[in-house]
Structure 1
Amino acid sequence: MGKKTQHCLLLLLCLSGFFHYSAAFSFWTAKVEISYVNSNNVTVDKICECGVFGRNSPLEQASGIVTLPKGDPKGCGSDPVYNPNNSSLPWIALVGRGNCTFSEKINAAYRQGASGVVVYNVDGTGNNTMQMSHPEGDGIVAIMIGNSQGMEVVNLVKNGTVVQMIIDIGRDHGPWMDTYWLYFLSISFFIVTAASIAYFVFISANRLYNLNMHRRSERKLKSEAKKAIGRLQVRKLKSGDEETNSESNMCAVCLESYKAGEVVTVLTCDHIFHKPCIEPWLLDRRTCPMCKCDILKALGVEEETKEILTANAPPEVTVITVMGGEPMYEVPLTDPTSSDPERLQHHYDNSAFEGDSEAGRR
């Protein structure tokens, strides 16, 4: 496994840890009951399970007269002034979200004697709520309600209506994942995905580059090999030559005995082969089929070209061993129908011997 893959997996594990940490939180809903006398002198009672207890709020019941802060409706500042109608009765602060932290809002109301704090969400959010985090304001019951529900009570109080509110414990809902964690995980997922795609593109481009370099090196080496093969000794067999006197003398490439009039190539290791047989072999394998002697090295082909080819070379092709009683040589598994001219052409250089070769075949 590559280092890049290990880093991606490590990042995913970290994100998974964050997810489980966030998911460990559960939230409790709050039952909110309000009671007031309307303009027709009729008592109106409303109850809904529409609040959410703050993350640091004690899960306790609270009740009292709803009281709004004077001046700033969001309850911010050093000490927002609350003026309950009857200071001897318990009261609940109703403030809007924003301008300062939840802890500041809650502590400001708590210092002035509120038995609970209700924060309603910002304008335009309807009845949406969230679980507040207020680590510095954990000594008082605090819940959040939706904007529509909060503004309904605010308008009643501003019109002079006395609203009695009871906050009670609802149900446990968990695990809880707030919006910020969702944003964080979404962005993290996007970053990991983008990094993975970028890494894939980089690896693909690098492989294509190496493949292109290998092909160039291969072409350069073959070009040098053609020149080197042109310097090998080539001769035409005669009827009195040693190679034609016995059928045991045969070309190790095609397994055919030598005959008078055939053109053969003598390698630097003194092994001989049919010229049309050995030249394609040397271009492909570059070693003697019998003793594995490095022909190109012996002929002085520059080692730098071979080193470049070796560094960029892909895995070697599969080979089979041709059996003739005993293993004799290895040949590559190539497509006999290949249109590669370098594999099909038998005569590259040594043009001076082409006439001799034609005469031998006749």
Structure 2
Amino acid sequence: MGEKTQPSLLLILLCMSGLVPRSAAFVFWTASLKTQYYHSSNDTVVKSCECGVYGRNSEAVPFSGCVAVPKGDPTGCRSGIFYGRNSSEDWIALVKRGNCTFSEKINIAMKQGAAGVVVYNVEGSGNSTTFMSHPDTGDAIAIMIGNLQGTEIANLVQNGTVVKMFIKPGSAHGPWMDTYWLYFLSIAFFIVTAASIAYFVFISANRLYSMSRHMRTEKRLKSEAKKAIGRLEVITLKRGNELTTSDAMCAVCIESYKAGEVVTVLTCDHIFHKACIEPWLLERRTCPMCKCDILKALGVEEDVKDNMSTSSPPEVTVITVTGGDALYEVPLNEPRSHEPEQQQHRYDNRAFEEDSEAARG
């Protein structure tokens, strides 16, 4: 059962491992943005919000510095464009979305030594952001903020205000963190669990049924084997019998036959000790030497199927061997005759045919 349940668990793990890398592409990190600058009255203005989004190809790590905007081109797409900045401290490039790809404007700013890049959205988008993609930018750190906020900061910098920006990772978002996905995963988990339990119950019930059916079959076959054993020929060996004088041995116990021992002759004419062969036939119902099925040979199986268990008593014969007397069989269900020469001679074992012919001669 454990072997059957192993493939289903492996399939679940493979499905889950396939979903993880796919879902990772949809997970994004927000950015907590803090701006700080001095007003004309020397009052410090500090604004904080979780209003940025890290780029798809950017590592979500904190960075900070003074804000610098490109001169003459707010999008920062022209190569060799100049950022007004103080080279003695870390600075952050603030560029507008448009005119070129995110990767191009990020690479231009990073080549001039920016600690990170903040891209603000286009006009008319309010403070909405998108999950921007910027491949081929190496380890550059970039976030996107809304248009209104980005335009306000850009205007302050262009007017000569020193604006410092502190950015750190906010919260992770995506399908695995979304409420609907949590509901879906919970339902999927319970469905998989219920299916696994149902499968386990089904396999267990099927195994119990198979075991019960096997036990009933074995019990029926043992009962049939007992009836078949009762129909086999049983012989008491006497001195001078061919089996006692030859090198013949019982194939079950591998011992020679001796006078006085009781042997059983199977339907295939193979002979064994009665005490040896009967336990064997109860368990296997076949000859140890030729695998002949005694149930089929004696028709016991058909008798049981046809409800003919009340058939006539089994015929058991005894062959007596004496010194010079003739060999003959006497059925136990018939009276013993005082004239053995008039009895019908019948032998199921070829080992005794020669003795019978010699006696009649």
TM-score if structure 2 supplies the norm length?
Answer: 0.46
